[in-house]
Chain A
Amino acid sequence: MKDTSGMNSPKPITLADWADSVDHDEERIRERLIILIDHLQQAYHSQGQAHGNITPQTIPWEDNRIDADAFRKKVEERPDVQSPYTAPELGENNSPPTATILSDIYSLSAVFYYAVSGQPPVKAGVRRRCSKMEPLFQKSVTENTRTAIAAGLSIDPNARPKDLAAFKRILSEKPLSGDAASTVPATAGVATPRASPPPTAQPAPHPPPPPTAPVPVKRLPLNLTAGQVAIVPIGNVIPKLGEWEFDLGKNEALRVEVDRAKGEFLFTPMQSGEQQLELFFRHPDLPDQPAQPKSVAVTVNPDPDSLWQNKDPDPTLPYQKEHTASKELVTPVARILAASQRGRSHAHEGTFRDDDFLVRYDKTTGWHLLAAADGAGSAKFSRQGSLIACEKAIHHMEDWLTKETVPLDSAVEKFLETADRDKRHLQSPAYGWLGGAAIEALKAIKAEAEHRDPPASLRDFHTTLLLAAAKPTPEGWLLLTFSVGDGGIAAIYGQGEPISLCTPDSGDFSGQTVFLTVPGVLRSGEDVLKRIHVQILPDFSALFLMTDGITDPKFPTETSLKDKTTWELFLQELNEKVEIARPGDSAEARLLSWLSFRSPGNHDDRTIVILLPTHSEPAESKESSLPGFLTRLFGAPKKKTS
């Protein structure tokens, strides 16, 4: 039953107020936190929902429990992505700003951090520049609290406790005895200074000045990165400063300042490597004593951006390949843009671009033929594997059109005549056409491997293959696709609806995939057929073929390749950076330069092939171009300035 105590207090008490009032007493905080967790679980997470707006200021307390109504109202207020309590993934470009259970767990952990320590775990705004949260406590906290907060504040959502039950478990688990405790501080991310004293070691109220200077930690509990500012509380470096004062040794490579008012060190390291923070301790009561020097080891990581090299491959190696390729192909009914760029990791190691693509238009039949392939980075001739795969597959498709047009046309007719668009009519010709193209490509790669002296293995040519054939019909665009390996094929239609046109081939771990060249992948007719997709799209606005260099950063999961919001963000970026609609000059060059976008951990070759229908635009005009849905999304194409 709701009591009437709320009437007495016009301004509701928040968790922040309460935590301040109990002086951030860890034991009491933990009790309340459990109440909050239970409420969150019951009201939101058990229904698969997230709250999304959890901060110390948005948690209204009523007596010893949450004011459920007020808490619910906070859901409707949009969370501020710059807030130090909001999970970092909610502010990223490519993720929809939708709260999840995991983002709630981040917020909860940040709130818990505040409640225990009296300040947010990071400064608002600073967070986006750090790759990792550093939960550094100014005072001693129990192992469970520290572990729970460190896990909950993981930048990678998947590294957090997977649900509230798991979070609660960490909080309430009995601390492991013996050595376990000593294992924790070894990683900087969860470390408090090893020298943190147990709470029993309280000094007497006014002790006489100690004869020796305080002992700082041996090593800074977190590693710094060259060129990146880092703030570290003084208490984490010098646990028991007491009345002592200190000066800093001059070190141009490390550049340290002290903000005594805030009690923080401010590091701006300029050089990477092992460095020393030098401290000279003085006591105000002992002005005649010489300053006592102490030093703290500091590891400064290099700035990753400064490490990338751009090397050319050995010019005597076989199968030389250009680092980039791009192409624009304008047909009477469509525009095809394609670009391929050597990955940063390949440039760094001086290896070739392993990706390839090929686009063609068959005038006689009106079919657009697109291929993209990604040679395995771990295979030594994969650059040639991807090239042969694209060339041979497209050539087979062109050849086939000169011989087998009649069965294809009649199959298309039959397909369009059936009320429910029975795809079975198209399966047989698509099998012979696209499946046949893949098999021919595989044969050609085999021949190339055997032809080498000494003969190479098929695995040296490992490559994926994405194929598409597209043609407008009176009922809409007809799309036939085939895929083996990672990367993706997708089309956009209607009001920006994405549809995936590929068969996912990923394994348990990243980078595990299937290649065209893996024995047995195309063994049976069924193996081939399950890789073929047939689609007719009346309000078709774009078709995309992308290698994993693009799908990994932009569409990291199978689900995201079908997700409308992810696509909207992607298309918006593409439109802003590439300006596909800009008339006159070379959009393919802009597409190519866009391919150099930065994405941490994603440095593979990148290849994209885009088909944009232009409906009845004349073939020579390049200034049409934003079709259907894209025009509605981005506005009309800009007029050519003469």
Chain B
Amino acid sequence: MRRLPVYLLIDTSGSMKGEPIESVKVGLSTLVSSLRSDPHAMDTVNLSLMTFDREVKVLVPLSPLEDFVLPDIATPEAGPTMTGLALEKVCECVGREVVKSTPEQKGDWRPLLFVMTDGSASDVQLFNRMVPEVKKIGFGAVVGCAAGPKAKKDELQKFCNHVVALDTMDGHAFQSFFQWVSTAVAGGNMSMGVTSELQLPPPPPNVNFIS
């Protein structure tokens, strides 16, 4: 059966430690339970959760929504933010996990990618090299979330086709963001043009639409 693959990429660098990461966890569990209340999503959505700080971890490889178990998310004390490495990992996983259509086999729905960061890439060279690679995948949507004042929005704009910003990094802001992600995901399993992008729902008031 065709799946709707959804990749969530979360920045876990040192600055996320404490309240921000705890809020993200609550947000993620809202996202999962909100998707579980949508029968169409239950049939199709497959989630993958990755984190990136000084290294990239696939916490949950692409798995059906019904089997998804939210893991513990750890943050190091300090260190670089390997955004480029994370994008490389996403491309590798999509290439391996997502099924494309052929005359003999039905492909998955177009994959979606959500990236959340509160800073900027430390591995600029690799990051720049990965930007065109991410575009090549053919994601239905790549959504960037710039959390807090230090997040570099223009960096996200390089590879995302939509960028939203959270002014604060509290529980309420993350909750709103992930709730919005769940409505965006719900639109991913319907027909669209070969080249057109997923049309996103309007974000809630405390999530600012940048582009």
Contacts from A to B (Cβ < 8 Å):
131-132, 156, 158-159, 179, 183, 186-189, 219, 222-223, 225, 272, 299, 301-302, 304-305, 307-308, 344-345, 348, 374, 376-378, 459, 462, 486, 504, 506-515, 518, 548, 552, 556-559, 600-601, 603-604
Query: Are A509 and B138 neighbours in the complex by a CB distance under 8 Å?
Result: yes
Complex Cα distance, B102 from A579, in Å, reads 34
- Which residue on A lies nearest to B99, using beta carbons? A158
User: What are 27 A-B interface contacts by the 8 Å CB criterion?
Assistant: A132-B64, A158-B105, A186-B69, A187-B68, A187-B69, A223-B68, A301-B65, A302-B36, A302-B42, A304-B39, A307-B37, A307-B42, A345-B40, A348-B40, A374-B191, A378-B191, A459-B196, A462-B193, A504-B103, A509-B107, A510-B108, A512-B193, A513-B191, A514-B193, A518-B193, A557-B102, A601-B44
Most buried by A among B3, B40, B55, B68: B40
Contacts from B to A (Cβ < 8 Å):
1-3, 36-40, 42-44, 49, 55, 57-61, 63-69, 71, 98-111, 138, 140, 187, 189-194, 196, 198-199
Complex Cα distance, B1 from A258, in Å, reads 34
Most buried by A among B49, B71, B105, B107: B107
- Which residue on A lies nearest to B189, using beta carbons? A511
Complex Cα distance, B104 from A513, in Å, reads 17
Contact of B42 among A219, A299, A301 (CB under 8 A): A301
**16 other A-B residue contacts (CB within 8 Å) besides A301-B66, A559-B103:** A156-B3, A179-B57, A189-B63, A223-B67, A302-B36, A304-B42, A304-B43, A348-B38, A348-B39, A348-B40, A376-B191, A486-B191, A510-B2, A512-B192, A518-B193, A557-B103
Query: Are B60 and A186 neighbours in the complex by a CB distance under 8 Å?
Result: yes
Query: Are A507 and B39 neighbours in the complex by a CB distance under 8 Å?
Result: no
- Which residue on A lies nearest to B186, using beta carbons? A349
Complex Cα distance, B40 from A478, in Å, reads 41
A305 proximity list for chain B (CB < 8 A): 39
Query: Are A510 and B106 neighbours in the complex by a CB distance under 8 Å?
Result: yes
Secondary structure call for the A interface: loop
Complex Cα distance, B40 from A151, in Å, reads 25
CB of A406 to closest CB in B, whole Å:
39
Contact of A131 among B61, B66, B105, B196 (CB under 8 A): B66
CB of B55 to closest CB in A, whole Å:
7
A552 proximity list for chain B (CB < 8 A): 2, 106
Most buried by B among A132, A307, A511, A601: A511
Query: Are A307 and B194 neighbours in the complex by a CB distance under 8 Å?
Result: no
Query: Are B39 and A183 neighbours in the complex by a CB distance under 8 Å?
Result: no
Most buried by A among B40, B102, B110, B191: B191
A132-B67, A556-B106 given; A187·B61 CB < 8 A: yes
Query: Are A508 and B66 neighbours in the complex by a CB distance under 8 Å?
Result: no
Query: Are A506 and B101 neighbours in the complex by a CB distance under 8 Å?
Result: yes
